[in-house]
Structure 1
Amino acid sequence: METRTKELAALEKNKKVTKEEAEEGQELLTRMPKLKARQELRKKYEALTDGKLPPDEFAAERAKIKGGMKLSADVAEKYTRDVLRAIETVRPEYVKEITIGEWGANAIKGLYRRVEQPLPDDIKDALKNPKTLARSKVAELIREAREKLGKREDLDDQKDVDTTILMMFAELHDPYTTYYDAATLKKMDAPLRGRFRGVGIQIRRDLVRDGLLVVSPIKGSPAYKAGIQAGDLITAIKRDSDPQGEPLKEGEKTEISTKGMKTEQALDLILGKVGVPITLVVEREGQKEPIEFKLERGIVSVETVLGVKRDKKDDWLWYVDEANKIGYVCLTQFGPSTGRELEAVINKMEKAGLNGLVLDLRFNPGGLLQTAVMVCDLFVDDGVVVSVRPRVGRPRVYHAKDSNNYPGPVVTAHTRFPIAVLVNGSSASAAEIVSACLQDYNRAVVVGERSYGKGSVQNVERFSPTGGEIKMTTARYFPPLGKNIDKHSTPGKPEDEWGVKPNPGFEIKLPREEQQELAESYRDREIIKPKDAPKTPVDKEKADKKPFVDRQLEKAVDYLRNQAKAVAAQPGRKDG
């Protein structure tokens, strides 16, 4: 390398190469470039400095490669148009007022940061005071910034637009405003939609056996109905078509081994169009031969309303203390069907007898605002549920029992039993709306640890130029008593007002090890375990461990027992 750089310096001194070529060559020779065109250029510099390529031929070869790196005017124009459309999509509604110049500066700086290129001096100078930039100047700078990067594979096929929008939002330092490109959307299980298209299994890589381990089938899914079990090892995937039902292309395999396969690759093969068949080949503990499961992809509903544990039919049991009729419901997220499913569970328990309810919102990251309002409606019969205050426009105040709050009939409020809501540092957004509302009306005590502190509301909009989605913060929400929930609107210190705090006397902080045990117990609870399966070493190891004691849940149940006893002890009380 040193010999080549010295030779290049000598060529410049003898005017065989220009200063620009020498500087470019020094950079390429001292560091291996990532881009293919620049790698080819590096080879030409190596040949030049090794004496294998005369300077005049080198100049011609270099010019040819550089010509291929030039971005066409049409591509630059479309890129500029799409980025401006993204800016104009978010600018009117974003929770903070940001000028078009600042949005443009974020887009350009973000793009260059992602591709690890220094911002050209002329563009850097033009962006020194972005607030003053007019739309026309912003468009000019966006186009120029893209043209300077040229044609390159990491920005081909609209990846330039995808990358720019994503990084433009990253410059905001707002973790809830982001962009999902079309490929990412396909891989997402669409948790807020509550459903996805596939066979219905949770999988992870098994490094020891080099295959895909079935963590659990999902209740009611094609895989569950076919008999796929937790612990099965998927060793191969067979198919007659691609996941969308289209014929396989020439060279594509009909049977694919899972050896060395990443989970993301497996999901690309397994998720797909409803009705399209797929065969999974599995190895099962205790079985000598592999088992083939011929499945049809279907709509798989994600369970968001969980009970204490599963019964023999894999249905949930809803009483944490059946003798005292203390119910338990855990909401994993606030999806489209969560409210109606919870309503059905509450109705079922009330018919059987319900003296108290634990509503577990720990580890719940949130979800749909309208679902959170519906859940509040199940337990509150009057008053403000939540207020949403945007930057522009009038605030929207959600009142209990308003038929405009969510689709379908208004739910009946259940007010005859006490409630304890469990929260922790991973309870966020919609989970905080519910816990704060019930706490403000003294409808429930909040038990556990201070919640996450996500007091903002996001809108999701389809971005048609790319097929992606833009998720942006548009407002902040406030519970009935108007307390601040949003940690990001404060310095975030413990003494500041943010999040939902447990009621006095009901805070139980868990050390890190206990938090991990709690999270593990949550994961284990969701697994649908095979019936009469031989015990694995892992099962035996878990059986030998001391059972995990959920101190926060115990505190909630003790409170509800005492409340139920106090009610029962009231003179003249009659049921019915």
Structure 2
Amino acid sequence: MEEQQKKRRRFPGWAKIVIAVVLTLVLTLGAVAGAAVVVFGKDGIALMQGYLLAKFSFVETDADLSKAVDSALDGMVEGLGDRWSYYLDPESYQNTLQSRANNYVGIGVTVSYDREDGLLVQEVTEEGPAQQAGVKAGDVITHVDGTSVAGDARYEATDMIAGEEGTQVELTLLGEDGTTRTVTCTRQTLKSDSVSSKLLDNGVGYVRLDNFYSGAASSLSREVQSLMDQGATSLVLDVRSNPGGYVAELIAALDYLLPEGPVFTERPRWGKETVYESDASCVDLPMVVMVDANSYSAAELFAAQLRESVQAPIVGEVTSGKGYAQLTFPLVNGGGLGLSVSAYCTGGGHSLIGEGIQPDVELSLDDSGTDNQLQAAIDLLLK
């Protein structure tokens, strides 16, 4: 009995509680570590180890770890071997979100480099900062914030005019009447329309699609309807140098133009294959599509589906051959990780991966100064 009491004194009640807590923590941490190995794998944990070692062991305590993380994420994406996946640092990610919303921060002018003495203003956005400050088409921007933009400096001038929303930029303008004046513009977020159109001779309606980001489908239907109201009897749809965009905008655009039938097939990593259908309502006009080597993704599928559904001829160059859709995942550091998460095909199941579109009329732009590809498209419609 005495010996048993002595043993009990070695492990009083509070000690038992401490031992139980420690054992629980050990078991919990072991379980968490085991789960981490299952979830992240050894490679994922090695990435985290590398960051912690750099943070607490690297001799230069003021090292820029955010730059190191950017480089590591860039390297990880490069290691995937997929040319379509990407990493965006925080600034690039915000700029990308803005451009995909078809918005931009600026003063609302379209300029050219035709003049040696500065930037020639070709168009001024209605109600934009430039118009409100009195800038007019035909003005020449000769100085930006007092710095001359004549000669080769004019090629850097648009970067000088760009800036953060709410900030100001001072422009010195040379008017068409030869007088000089100075105006101040306050930069703001402006809407950039991704679709434009004009009625050409012989009832040919020309529609230019710059991208398939936010609002593209509704802009397309508005422009096509406007052309038909003006008497258009055929359409040229130009997706040259179009980088693609959102699947939802592509499907809506195809649904508007095409008769009933399949228009897009998606094959995700997770989930079942989905075939999207167009309804019976359509634009019943002859159409030709223009593409080039810089027509990507949704732009390629747009052209391919028009040919598949209504036999619309395609004019231009062999396209890029992109066949994966990406999702851009926001990251806690403010950046974004774009990963290919699904393959896509035409409604009939044809993939463009690695082959692109072979045009019906293969033709590169010549050096004549005229758009020979557009003329070839018009010729097909007028046959």
TM range (shorter): 0.7 to 0.9
Q: Secondary structure at the match of 1:376?
A: helix
Alignment-derived partner of residue 219 in structure 1 = 125
Q: How does 1:384-533 map to 2 (within 5 A)?
A: 384-401=262-279, 412-415=281-284, 417-463=285-331, 465-487=332-354, 498-503=355-360, 507-510=361-364, 514=366, 517=367
Pick aligned residue for 1:551 from 350, 372, 380: 372
Deviation at 1:346, TM superposition (A): 1.5
Q: How does 1:51-450 map to 2 (within 5 A)?
A: 100=40, 133=42, 135-144=44-53, 149-151=58-60, 155-156=63-64, 158-186=66-94, 190-201=98-109, 213=119, 216-217=122-123, 219-220=125-126, 221-225=128-132, 226-229=134-137, 232-237=140-145, 257=147, 267=159, 270-273=162-165, 276=166, 278-284=168-174, 290-307=180-197, 318-321=198-201, 324-401=202-279, 412-415=281-284, 417-450=285-318
Deviation at 1:147, TM superposition (A): 5.4
Deviation at 1:462, TM superposition (A): 1.9
Residue type at the aligned position of 1:213: L
Residue type at the aligned position of 2:104: F
- 263-272 or 389-398: which moved more? 263-272
- Structure 1: distance between partners of 2:162 and 2:99: 18
* Sequence identity (%): 23
Deviation at 1:483, TM superposition (A): 1.8
- Structure 2: distance between partners of 1:136 and 1:424: 44
Deviation at 1:499, TM superposition (A): 0.9
- Structure 2: distance between partners of 1:339 and 1:326: 20
| Consecutive unaligned residues in structure 2, runs of 5 or more | 1-35
Deviation at 1:162, TM superposition (A): 2.4
Q: Secondary structure at the match of 1:473?
A: strand
Alignment-derived partner of residue 129 in structure 1 = none
Cα pair distance change 1:458/1:268, threshold 3 Å: farther
Deviation at 1:224, TM superposition (A): 4.0
Q: Which has the higher strand share?
A: 2
* Mapped contact 2:193–2:219 kept (Cα < 8 A): no
Q: Secondary structure at the match of 2:266?
A: strand
Q: Secondary structure at the match of 1:440?
A: helix
* Mapped contact 2:265–2:273 kept (Cα < 8 A): yes
Deviation at 1:371, TM superposition (A): 1.3
Alignment-derived partner of residue 25 in structure 2 = none
Query: What count of residue pairs does the alignment treat as equivalent?
Result: 342
* Mapped contact 1:182–1:466 kept (Cα < 8 A): yes
Deviation at 1:425, TM superposition (A): 1.1
| Consecutive unaligned residues in structure 1, runs of 5 or more | 1-87, 89-98, 102-132, 238-255, 308-317, 402-410, 488-497, 518-546, 563-576
Pick aligned residue for 2:381 from 560, 565, 568: 560
Cα pair distance change 1:271/1:137, threshold 3 Å: closer
Residue type at the aligned position of 2:291: V
Deviation at 1:501, TM superposition (A): 1.5
**TM-score for both structures, normalised by structure 2:** 0.77
Cα pair distance change 1:286/1:421, threshold 3 Å: closer
Residue type at the aligned position of 1:501: Q
Alpha-carbon displacement from aligned partner over 1:433-484 (angstroms, at most 9, x marks no partner): 1111111113411122211111110112222x22222222111110022222
Q: Cα RMSD (Å) of the superposition?
A: 3.4
- Structure 1: distance between partners of 2:60 and 2:290: 53
- Structure 2: distance between partners of 1:262 and 1:347: 39
Deviation at 1:189, TM superposition (A): 8.2
Alpha-carbon displacement from aligned partner over 1:387-438 (angstroms, at most 9, x marks no partner): 111222222322214xxxxxxxxx95212x1111111111111111111111
- Structure 2: distance between partners of 1:452 and 1:231: 39
* Mapped contact 1:204–1:263 kept (Cα < 8 A): no
Deviation at 1:510, TM superposition (A): 2.0
Alpha-carbon displacement from aligned partner over 1:282-312 (angstroms, at most 9, x marks no partner): 14166666422233333312232123xxxxx
Q: Secondary structure at the match of 1:171?
A: helix
